[in-house]
Amino acid sequence: MQDHYVITKLINNNVVFSTDAGGREIIVFGKAVGFGKKRGEGIDNSKIIKVFEPSDTKEKNFLMNLVEDIDPVYIDITTKIIALFESRLHCKVNVMMNISLSDHIHNAVRNKQEGFQVPLDILEEVKTMYPREFLIAKEGLDLIEKETRTTLSEDEAGYIVLHYINAQGQHFRSDAKIRLLFQEHVIQKIEQVYDVKLDHLSVYYSRFLTHLSFLAARLHDGQLLEASQSTLYPLLVQKYPRLEACTEMIAEIILNEFHMPVGEEEKGYLALHIHNLLKNLKMEESTDEATFK
């Protein structure tokens, strides 16, 4: 069966560059999808495992540097792992995770088969900060073992989580470690100020981590919200003095780690998330107050 994809460039037997019916450039993976094919010919739909459409030139160049050596079996494994994340966490990840994680798993399996592994120096931080994601990643290790007969260590589950963090949002990033350590620093400060252990499995905790992840990404890119007066921040801190102290400490962390001052609007969003975390724990300061939306 021929699909509407037309080959524009052969990479190898398993990877071809193509265009779709709308003329958009795509990359097609499949076992022997390019075998015996020539430029201008159609693609056998039954052999396709995954189709990627780069969103911009940066993604296209990134893909071109990686796809040539990736065996389709790793694309298939990664597709299944991503499906676990998306179904369990009710999220969508950037398509670039398919390529970056496939490449990582390919190298991890090859390294293990050659007798060595690459330890993850922040494995304990990953386990602590992302317990649900880590459990999903461990299921991913089972998929890898089933398909490749290679048993990978928990370090690789940690790496899978980092790839997931990088793939949040519309654009693929490569600063997961920076963001995770920033998140950990902030969470530790909140737990220190309130002398409490936050519930790492709660929806409010998950929302706050997502907020911190995108905040760190914007800080990394120098794209904080424009400085402006906030009605939310004064309202919250007037009622909850410790919330102001905690938020200002986090602003100081940001200033020290990213060298950027934080305006009231950014502080307002931080304070809102912290308030909801404490509300979920029924802290004394917020027990009788409705959770802000």
Q: Where are the domains of the chain?
A: 2-53, 72-166, 176-286
Backbone angles phi, psi at 84, to 5 degrees: -65, -50
Work out the pLDDT band at 286, boundaries 50, 70, 90. Answer: very low
Helix orientation angle between 154-166 and 176-194, rounded to the nearest 10 degrees: 100
pLDDT tens per residue across span 56-98: 776 677 676 667 677 888 988 998 999 999 999 988 887 778 8
- How far apart (Å, rounded) are the C-alpha atoms in residues 60 and 27? 9
CATH 3.30.450.20 fits 2-53, yes or no: no
* pTM, to two decimals: 0.71
Q: What is the mean pLDDT of residues 136-144?
A: 98
- Give residue 288's pLDDT: 38
Residues 6+ positions from 205 with CB-CB distance below 8 Å: 198, 199, 277, 280
- Give residue 227's pLDDT: 59
pLDDT tens per residue across span 180-195: 999 999 999 999 999 9
Q: How far apart are the first and last CA of the chain?
A: 51
- Give residue 139's pLDDT: 98
Span 72-166 CATH architecture:
Orthogonal Bundle (1.10)
- How far apart (Å, rounded) are the C-alpha atoms in residues 197 and 274? 13
Q: Which CATH number fits domain 176-286: 1.10.486.10, 3.30.470.20, 1.20.1640.10, 1.10.1790.10?
A: 1.10.1790.10
